[in-house]
Amino acid sequence: MKLIKLFCLLAMPLVIAQQSTRFIYQVTQTPDSTNTEKKTELAYLDTDGKRSLFYAENSLKRDSLMDRMRATRNFDREQMQNLRSNLQFTIEKDLTNQSLTYRSRIGRDNYSYPETPVFEWKILPETVKIGDYQTQKAETKFGGRTWYAWFTQEIPFQDGPYKFSGLPGLIVKIQDAKGDYSFDLMQTKKIAEIYQPLNRGQFITLSKSKYIEMEKKIQKDPVSFVNALRNSGRGGGNRPPIDPKEMQERQKRMEAEIKSRNNPIELK
C-alpha cells in the first residue's frame, strides 16, 4: 500500500506536466468600417508551452455539433448558422522558434500558409494590474496597425492571442491604436490536451502573399472565383453543378459577407 501511494505521488508531477492550458479571450472587433457596431465573441488559446492553437470558441462548438449530427444523422443548418464566427481561421504556433501556420477557407476549400512574424516590441515603463495579474505595456507595429499590449511575467508563456508572441510573458490584453480590434484575457483553465479541429479535407499550402492575392480576387468577384476553382479541380473534385437559383442565393450571401469584412485585422 505504501509503495502504491509513493508511486501515485511520484506520478502526479508527470500528470500535471502533461496538462495543457486554455486561455479564454474576449475578442472585440469592427470588421465593417461602414458600421461602428462592435462584434464580440470568445476565442481560445490552447498551449502546452511548446506549441499553441488559437481559434474561435464557436469552432469547437460547431465541431461538437457536427459530431452529434453525424451520430444522429440529423443535420440542422440553422443550428450551424447560429455558431458562425468572425474568426474564420486557426493559428498554430511553434513556440520554440516563434513560427506559425495560418489556416482558413477561401470559397469551399482549405488553405494554409506558414509565417514567422517579426514583432519589434518596444517595452514601455507603464504597469497596471489587469484582473489578477500585474502587467506591463508594450508597443509594436504589425499588419499596417500600431498595437498596444499588456503582458504578465506571472504566466511564463511567450505567447498571446492571434499571431502575437515574443514578449517575456503571456499577453493579457492587446488592442490596436484605432480601437478596431482588441483581445482581453477573461479566464484560464487546465485542459487535458490542445484541441484538434475536425479535418474537413486537405489543406492547400501557399505563401502568405499568394493567399492574400486569392483573398483579393474573391472579394472582387466571389462567384467567378469559386467557379474557377471548381473548373480547375481545386474546388473539391467532380461536384455536381449548382442549381442557378441556389447559386444566386449563395452569391448574395457571399457578397454581403465580403462587404461586411472591409476592415481586416491586417491592413497590409
pLDDT class of 128 with cuts at 50, 70, 90 = very high
pLDDT surpassing 50 at residue 15: no
Summarize pLDDT for 251-268 with one digit per residue, the tens. 677 677 777 778 899 998
Measure the CA–CA gap between 94 and 226, rounded to whole angstroms. 32
Give the mean model confidence (pLDDT) for residues 141-160: 97
Give the mean model confidence (pLDDT) for residues 116-136: 97
Summarize pLDDT for 67-84 with one digit per residue, the tens. 666 666 666 666 656 667
pLDDT surpassing 60 at residue 188: yes
Q: Which residues contact 37 (CB under 8 A, 6 or more apart)?
A: 30
Return the minimum-mean-pLDDT range out of 2-11, 40-49, 181-190.
2-11
Give the mean model confidence (pLDDT) for residues 45-69: 86
pLDDT at 35: 82
Q: What are residue 203's DSSP bridge partners?
A: 110
pLDDT surpassing 60 at residue 238: no
pLDDT at 226: 58
Summarize pLDDT for 95-110 with one digit per residue, the tens. 999 899 999 987 678 9
Element (H, E) at 266: none
Measure the CA–CA gap between 2 and 24, rounded to whole angstroms. 40
What is the pTM assigned to this prediction? Answer: 0.82
State residue 219 phi and psi, 5-degree precision: -65, -35
Among residues 85, 73, 84, 160, which one has the least CA distance to residue 121? 160
pLDDT at 250: 67
Measure the CA–CA gap between 29 and 48, rounded to whole angstroms. 27
pLDDT at 109: 83
Take residue 110 and report the three cell numbers written for it: 482549405
pLDDT surpassing 60 at residue 240: no
**Number of other CB atoms surrounding residue 122 within 10 Å:** 9
Max CA distance (Å), the chain: 74
